[in-house]
Amino acid sequence: MDEPGLILQDLRVTLSGKPMLRLSAHVAPGQVVSVMGPSGAGKSTLLGAVMGTLSPPFAVSGRILLDGRDLAALPVEARQIGILFQDPLLFPHLSVGSNLAFGLPRALRGAARRAAVEKALADVGLNGFASRDPATLSGGQKLRVALMRTLLAAPCALLLDEPFSSLDADRRAQIRSLVFERARAAGLPVLMVTHDPADAQAAGGLVIKLD
Amino acid sequence: MRLRAMPMLTLALLLGPVLAGLVGTLAPAFGILPVIGRVEPGVDAFRALLAWPGLPGAVWLSMVTGLGATVISLVIVMLLVACWSGTRSFAAFRRALSPLLSVPHAAAAFGLAFLVAPSGLVVRLLSPWATGWTQPPDLLIVQDPAGLSLMAGLVVKEVPFLLLMTLAALGQADAVRAETVARSLGHDRPAAWLKAVFPRVYAQIRLPVLVVLAFSMTVVDVALILGPNTPPTLAVQVVRWMNAPDLAMRLQAAAAATLQLALVVAALGLWCLGERVVAWLGRAWIWSGARRAGGAITAALSLALAGSAALTVLAGLGVLAIWSFAGFWRFPSPWPDAMTLGNWVRHWPGVAEALGTTIGISALSTFLALVLAIGCLEAEHRHALRLRARGQWLLYLPLLAPQVAFLPGVQTWMLMLGVKGGVGAVVAAHVIFVFPYVFLSLGDPFRAWDARQATIAHSLGAGPDRVLWAVRLPMLLAPLLTAAAVGFAVSVGQYLPTLLIGGGRVQTVTTEAVALAAGGDRRAIAVWAIVQTGLALLPFALAVGLPRLVWCNRRGLLHG
């Protein structure tokens, strides 16, 4: 059963015994699955279950498999799942460069570490931003840094929690295609939660409706 | 050690001494004190206490000053917030709040005494042109037998405290919108606030109000400075008997401490009864449809009262500062005839020694309290523990239980177990009183921290410890330092724990300053009180300044 990608097998979440969510899905590497639904339909509960951030009185049953690994017993930091929230949430006390280095594997040291950070910035058109204060960046720049911070940690899957809703319309399409492009290039299965049909349409993959 | 056990461990560390202390007070009160060979239970100590002629006066003083100071402070703060929240005058109060809060009780009390005493600044400014006095009048203003100056000294310090607590509560009470709705229904500002917001705010500040009540009834240092002498308040008399060379007097002291505890419990009960009466009257008022609560007059009055409370503390510090440099100063001259550094030079060796001890004790107890508080809050975060209403009461218990009721008991235990009071024991005792304030100060910002930051950091591979040290604590630097400053100021101001648990051998700036109250050396008092104030204020300045310095290049952390 070593099928690659993110597999949700009869995933169920209850809150104090009350059913909140029931879902099965298979997200193949390089593919985007969109989850849509009105607020309160359990979209963020779903992401919490996959990330591993739900704690009692929430209860999760069913299986979550990532490249064949069962994630149930793993803490958030061992699941190797990257996440982008609606806000970029760059760590405000660290420079842009240190934000990027936060999740870089420890094996990269010294000059190699610096080079990886510089290359990531260059890849998204932010050359020379390493020493900047994140608070001085524009919304689109922050999101690009957040994306690269996530990818540098070499995740095995990517979750998107309405990551484009804070951007204005023309920025939005641009950043959206950047994120999808990068995720596809890295061969990541992507699970996106959104309430914007345009996001789902741009993703081009399967759309799951929660209600 | 497992982090999960942290809250229980902390509760044990805090409540253990309080409960053991209460037992240690009750036992001798009922005649059991093995150290001096008394093992037969009996009520002789209470009989001796009843025979003390000062008892009715002391009991009366304790009740009247406690309840009076609490009611007056609460009314001032509620009216001020009702009439002025959101205005520019209110913003001025907000800014003055931290410094006013950190001024130690003893220093504020000395300042008040220096202002209103017969030879104080107020009389000097009015003499002789208005009063005709060329000699200080023979009036007992400070240490008056009715306890009025004691009450005033408590009010000027409790107003800032209750104001701070109210400000914290306002955010959760949806105050602005509720008030707007009530005003749109035709109520004037105070009426709108009192009817629509006050009930919700009061529910949030109830515990701090009860703490103010218990504290005001049993405070020792302020009562030594501003309270009457013959008889003194019950709490002061307990300390006098505790410090008597004859160990047998401890039985009587324990009986008096037990009575004091009963009085506090009775006053708390009385207060809760009063709450019901006020609630009943309030409902009747709301039902009646009356829409006016004095409008502009209430507003002017509340501003005048709260303003004088704040000004009294600041002016008192000013007078203390002048006296600390005063040479010869004739009555009724409003300014010293000569200014000199002599007072400071003369007292500096003693001050320096006490300063070292105080800084050591306060820094260590603040550090320990911070470690416990961070441990508890982090355990709460990692294990999704919730502080229930019951937990909130436990947190406030060391502040509600009168120091004078349980510290003598702790001292009795130390005597029995042969533990010598010293700096270490004093630090441990200070942590009991510092922790609740540190925890309350740090709790809200710690919990308000965006947990998605933790999710992000975890998803980047960071374990819980790295998230705490590399993300959460650095981001919370400003509230951490504020909590540390609060803790330090609380510790600096502690009088009774230092005196009783230190066994009289630990001299801090506070014990030394209060010890001077009985004498009349104004210049010495002024020097010590200024040092005490400076020591409590300095950390607040650092707490404001340091984050600006450390995060000067991180805009996202400067306006949070």
pLDDT digits (tens, 9 = 90+) for A121-148: 999 999 999 999 999 999 899 999 999 9
The per-residue pLDDT for B223 is 96
Domain ranges (residues) in chain B? 1-33+342-560, 45-340
Kindly report the nearest CA distance between residue B555 and chain A, in angstroms.
6
* Angle subtended at Cα B489 by Cα B20 and Cα B80, rounded to the nearest 5 degrees: 105
In the structure encoding, which two tokens stand for residue B77, read together?
């703060």
Do the chains contact at B460 and A133, CB–CB below 8 Å? no
B200-212 mean pLDDT: 94
A4-21 mean pLDDT: 91
Alpha-carbon distance of B490 to B108, in angstroms, equals 14
Helix (H) or strand (E) holding B84: helix B55-84
Q: Would residue A147 count as lying in a domain?
A: yes
Query: Which residue, among B525, B512, B517, B503, has the nearest Cα to B353 in the 3D structure?
Result: B512
Give chain A positions within 8 Å (CB) of B456.
83, 85, 89
A150 inside 8 A of chain B by CB: yes
pLDDT in tens, B99-118: 888 899 999 999 999 999 98
Kindly give the pairing relationship between strand A58-66 and strand A6-15.
Answer: antiparallel
- Match 């690009």 to its residue by tokens: A144
Kindly give the pairing relationship between strand A18-27 and strand A6-15.
Answer: antiparallel
Least confident of B382-386, B510-514, B544-548: B382-386
B53-82 mean pLDDT: 96
Instruction: Find the distance separating the first CA and the last CA of chain A, reported in whole Å.
Output: 31
The per-residue pLDDT for B1 is 55
Q: What are the φ/ψ torsions at residue B380 (nearest 5 degrees)?
A: -60, -45
Alpha-carbon distance of B260 to B58, in angstroms, equals 10
For the structural domain made of B45-340, what CATH number should be given? Answer: 1.10.3720.10
B207-211 mean pLDDT: 95
A32-36 mean pLDDT: 93
User: What CATH number is attached to the domain comprising A65?
Assistant: 3.40.50.300
A53 inside 8 A of chain B by CB: yes
- On whether the CB atoms of residues B140 and B227 are closer than 8 A, the answer is no
pLDDT in tens, B210-229: 999 999 999 999 999 999 98
B503 Rama class: left (phi>0) / alpha (psi -120 to 50) / beta: left
In the structure encoding, which two tokens stand for residue B65, read together?
């000053």
Alpha-carbon distance of B501 to A109, in angstroms, equals 54
Q: What are the φ/ψ torsions at residue B86 (nearest 5 degrees)?
A: 90, -5
CA dist list (Å): B82 to A75, A119, B86, B108, B232? 49, 58, 10, 26, 37
pLDDT in tens, B244-296: 888 889 999 999 999 999 999 999 999 999 999 999 999 999 898 888 888 78
Do the chains contact at B452 and A85, CB–CB below 8 Å? yes
Kindly indicate the confidence band of residue A25, based on its pLDDT and cuts at 50, 70 and 90: very high
- On whether the CB atoms of residues B404 and B220 are closer than 8 A, the answer is yes
The per-residue pLDDT for B560 is 46
Q: Is the peptide bond before A57 cis (omega within 30 degrees of 0)?
A: yes
Q: Would residue A154 count as lying in a domain?
A: yes
Q: Would residue A165 count as lying in a domain?
A: yes
Give chain B positions within 8 Å (CB) of A133.
553-556
Total tally of structural domains belonging to chain A: 1
A103 inside 8 A of chain B by CB: yes
The per-residue pLDDT for A102 is 94
> Considering CB atoms only, which of A55, A80, A135 is closest to B556?
A135
By CB atoms closer than 10 A (0-12, 13-18, 19+), residue B304 is: exposed
Do the chains contact at A56 and B384, CB–CB below 8 Å? yes
> Considering CB atoms only, which of B458, B470, B551 is closest to A77?
B458
Question: Is 3.30.420.40 the CATH number for B1-33+342-560?
Answer: no
A58 inside 8 A of chain B by CB: no
A106 inside 8 A of chain B by CB: no
Question: Of B357 and B393, which is predicted with more confidence?
Answer: B357
Residue B135 has what DSSP assignment? S
Angle in degrees, 0-180, between the axes of helices B6-29 and B389-400, rounded to the nearest 10: 40
Alpha-carbon distance of A26 to A206, in angstroms, equals 10
State how far Cα B72 lies from the chain centre.
Answer: 16
ipTM above 0.90, yes or no: no
Q: Would residue A1 count as lying in a domain?
A: no
Kindly report the nearest CA distance between residue A16 and chain B, in angstroms.
14
Provide CB contacts within 8 A for B346, sequence distance 6+: none
> Considering CB atoms only, which of B457, B554, B556 is closest to A102?
B457
The per-residue pLDDT for A1 is 53
- Residue A48's closest chain B neighbor by CA? B455
Boundaries of domain holding A63: 6-209
Do the chains contact at A103 and B460, CB–CB below 8 Å? yes
Alpha-carbon distance of B121 to B134, in angstroms, equals 14
The per-residue pLDDT for B386 is 74
- Residue A90's closest chain B neighbor by CA? B453
SS3 string, B196-221, reads HCHHHHHHHHHHHHHHHHHHHHHCCH
Alpha-carbon distance of B161 to B98, in angstroms, equals 9
- On whether the CB atoms of residues A134 and A56 are closer than 8 A, the answer is no
Kindly report the nearest CA distance between residue A137 and chain B, in angstroms.
11
Alpha-carbon distance of B336 to B95, in angstroms, equals 31
Give yes or no for residue A96 having a pLDDT over 50. Answer: yes
In the structure encoding, which two tokens stand for residue B341, read together?
């550094």
Alpha-carbon distance of A169 to A164, in angstroms, equals 9
A133 inside 8 A of chain B by CB: yes
Kindly give the pairing relationship between strand A58-66 and strand A69-70.
Answer: antiparallel
Do the chains contact at B460 and A150, CB–CB below 8 Å? yes
% chain A with pLDDT above 90: 65
CB atoms within 10 A of CB B116: 21
Q: Would residue A32 count as lying in a domain?
A: yes
Give chain A positions within 8 Å (CB) of B464.
75, 77
Question: Of A162 and B152, which is predicted with more confidence?
Answer: B152
Query: Which residue, among B422, B441, B424, has the nearest Cα to B490 in the 3D structure?
Result: B441
Question: Of B213 and B37, which is predicted with more confidence?
Answer: B213
Work out the mean pLDDT of chain B and round it to a whole number: 92
Mutation target to probe the B interface, by most B beta carbons within 10 A, among A77, A86, A90 is A77
A41-50 mean pLDDT: 89
- On whether the CB atoms of residues B165 and B75 are closer than 8 A, the answer is no
Alpha-carbon distance of B529 to B73, in angstroms, equals 24
- On whether the CB atoms of residues A23 and A76 are closer than 8 A, the answer is no
- Grouping H, G, I as helix, E, B as strand and the rest as coil, residue A63 is strand
Give chain A positions within 8 Å (CB) of B551.
93
Kindly give the pairing relationship between strand A81-84 and strand A157-161.
Answer: parallel
Kindly indicate the confidence band of residue B512, based on its pLDDT and cuts at 50, 70 and 90: very high
